[in-house]
Amino acid sequence: MSKIRTVLALLKRAFPASLSLLVVPCAFAQTPKEVDSSAGTVRIDALAGKLEHPWGMAFLPSGELLVTERAGRLRILAKSGELSAPLDGVPSVLSRGQGGLLDVALDPDFDENSFVYLSFSEPGGEGASTAIGRGRFHNKKIENFRVIFRQLPKVSGPNHFGGRIVFDSDKNIYLTTGERFKFEPAQDLSNHLGTIVRITREGKAATGNPFTKNKNAKSEIWSYGHRNIEAAAFDPGTGHLWIAEMGPKGGDELNLIKEGANYGWPIVSWGEHYDGKDIPDPPTRPEFADAAKHWTPVISPSGMVFYTGSMFPEWRGSALIGGLSSRALIRVTVDGGSAKEAERLSLKVRVRDVEQAPDGSLYLLTDQSSGSVLRLSRTGG
C-alpha cells in the first residue's frame, strides 16, 4: 500500500491536472445513468456530491432532505440541489471506523413539535457506544439537543454501532444496535450490545417490552442475539418490523423481528468466522429465531424501505435494501414470514441508505469519502 501511495504522489507532482481529472470524478463516473429493472428503465441522477460518507437521510415536510455525514455533520439538500453548510447543534461524535453521526429521523408529530432524532457513536467511559438524542429543528439548526438513550456499556473499538431509527404505529422508537464486535455480549440481556431497543420518544423503556420484569435484563431490549443492524423498516401492509443485518464471512440476514426473540449470534450463523472457523448453522439450534432470507456471498445491507409509491407500481410492497459490498439496490418480496430476492439493480457504488421521496422516486446515499445523493426515477420522470 505504501508503494502505491508513493507512485500516486510522484504522478501527482508530474501530472497534477491530469491526475485530478482521473481521480476526482470517479464516484460519479462509476454510477450508470440508467439501469434495467422489472419496472422498466430506471433513470439515475446524482443530485449532490462531496459528502463525506453520508449515512442517513430524512425528508422534511418542505421537500428538503436532511442528510448526515459520518464525520459528524448534518446538512440540508434543497429541492434545487443546493447543499447547505453544516447545521449547528449536532452532538459531538466518535468519528472512527464505522462510528460517527449515523441516522436521522423526524418525530411522527414533527409538524407540531419540530423534533429531529439523531443516532451516533457517543464517546465516553471505556470507549464509545450507540446513542440517540433529539432536538428541535428551527432556523436551519438543531436546538436544545439532548441524549435520550445510550447503549451500555461503552466499550473500546471502532466497529458495529448499528444505528437505524424507526417508529412504530404507537410512536415508539426502535433503535438498532451492533454488538460492537465483541461477540458474546449479544447473548447477555444485562447489556444493550447486539440488541434492538424499543423506547418512548423520551427515551424510557416502552410499555409492554418483554424483559421489564427480569431484574437481570435491560428493560429497553426488544430482541437480541444480533451482530450489526444497519437496515430496518416496518412493512406498512402488516405492521411487522423487518431488519437486515450483516453476517461475518457470509450469512447476511433478513429477519422478521419478534418480541423477545433471540436471533442466535454468535452461537449460530449462516456464515463463518473471518479466519475460516466454522459457526453452526441456525437449524442446529431451533431455540433461536432463524432468518427469512440469508446471503452468501454477502450483500452488506445498509438502509431499507418498503416501497409504497406510485412511480414504480411494480415494486409496491417490496423491501428495497441498500447493498455496500454488493454495490446494488436489492428488491425483496415478503409473504408472511418468508422472503425472497426478486431482483438486484447493479449501481456500481456502495449504497448506504435508501429513502422513498414524496413523489415516489427513490433517494440513495453512496458510501464514499466523496459520497453523493442519487435519485432513481422512471425514464422521463
**Residues with active-site annotation:** 160
Tally of CB atoms within 10 A around 162: 32
d(CA 10, CA 47): 34
Torsional sign, CA 258, 259, 263, 265: positive
Position of cell 430524512?
Answer: 58
Contact 258, 241 (CB under 8 A): no
Q: Does residue 44 sit in helix, strand or coil?
A: strand
Of 173, 342, 176, 192, residue with least CA distance to 244 = 176
**Cell triple for residue 168?**
412504530
Cα–Cα distances in angstroms (integers) from residue 243 to residues 72, 226, 273, 277, 279, in the given order: 25, 10, 22, 26, 21
- Rounding to the nearest 10 degrees, give the CA dihedral for residues 63, 177, 352, 39: -70
* Residue/partner pairs of 147-152 with CB below 8 Å, 24 or more apart: 147/91, 147/122, 147/203, 148/199, 148/201, 148/202, 148/203, 149/175, 149/197, 149/199, 149/203, 149/220, 150/122, 151/177, 151/192, 151/193, 151/197, 152/191, 152/192, 152/218
Torsional sign, CA 349, 95, 57, 79: negative
Task: Find the largest Cα–Cα distance for the chain.
Answer: 69
Of 124, 126, 46, 127, residue with least CA distance to 91 = 124
One DSSP character per residue, 235-253 reads -TTT--EEEEE--SBS-EE
Residues 6+ apart with CB under 8 A from 289: 223, 225, 255, 258, 261, 262, 263, 264
d(CA 370, CA 51): 5
